[in-house]
Structure 1
Amino acid sequence: MSTASTNQPSQHPHAEHQPSGASSWAVLLLAGAFEVGYALSVGGSQGFTVLSWSVVAVVFFLLTLFCLSRALRGIDVGIGYAVWAGIGAVGAAVLGPVFFDEVLTPSRAVWLAVIISGVVWLKVADGHKG
């Protein structure tokens, strides 16, 4: 094999730089934050009938999908999606009462804590994959 061929970049589509585990998780957390913004703004859009909230929802939607897709370059899809959805669910449930006429009951808080525990354990498990 000649040295010229070994110095050329790989033509394999997945050979480009893969993000580190830590940066993938940071981008996943950002995607989760955008998902919370998306969920809340969809609620505020009242079925996409309020223009300002609808525009904000579309922006958050595009941001969350972009960040999620970037994070999934370094995190398994099943783990990444579960964490992203968990962040969105917990964030929307906790902030819903702040922005809307919603109630966070003790029972809901307990089950949200279960989701948070699951997300933490998924991160721990991802750190130990072989």
Structure 2
Amino acid sequence: MLLFAGAFEIGYALSVGGSQAFTVPGWSVAALIFFLLTLYFLSAALRTIDVGIGYAAWAGIGSVGAAAFGSVLLDQPLTLVQTFWLGVIIAGVVWLKLADSAKLQGEVNAH
């Protein structure tokens, strides 16, 4: 569910960019649909994932995905420095999820 929420967040971000401040009807409708879908799937995912972890992963997926797809599909520039910091976001989300894992928490609690 969280991956779907992240994918719809990417669609939302790209649609908002294409809507040109909601002045282009087709992109504006797409943005509204993606917005509702991302909220629905995020709320469904948060039934089984802690809010902090789920929100961080969702935001990370959306940020990295929007930057990557914006670069490929919309010819938006993506510099080496931006790519580095997007990598930091990915590493941070992975690290956050690993720190939340039951196995790691069991090892920490055992010490």
**Distance in 1 separating the partners of 2:24 and 2:101:** 43
1:106 aligns to 2:96 (yes or no):
no
**Distance in 2 separating the partners of 1:76 and 1:97:** 31
Over 3 Å off, 4+ runs: none
The unaligned stretches of length 5 or more in structure 1 are 1-26
Cα deviation for residue 123 of structure 1 reads 1.9
Cα deviation for residue 126 of structure 1 reads 2.4
Amino acid at match of 1:36: I
1:38 aligns to 2:12 (yes or no):
yes
Considering fraction of residues, name the structure with more helix: 2
What is the aligned-residue identity percentage? 68
**Distance in 1 separating the partners of 2:20 and 2:75:** 13
CA RMSD of aligned residues (A): 1.2
Cα deviation for residue 43 of structure 1 reads 0.3
The unaligned stretches of length 5 or more in structure 2 are 107-111
Q: 2:54 aligns with which of 72, 77, 80?
A: 80
With the length of structure 1 as denominator, give the TM-score of the two structures.
Answer: 0.76
Amino acid at match of 2:41: C
The 3-state SS of whatever aligns with 2:83 is helix
Q: 1:121 aligns with which of 95, 99, 103?
A: 95
The 3-state SS of whatever aligns with 2:61 is helix
How many corresponding residue pairs?
104
Find the counterpart in structure 1 of residue 33 from structure 2: 59
The structure whose Rg is larger is: 1
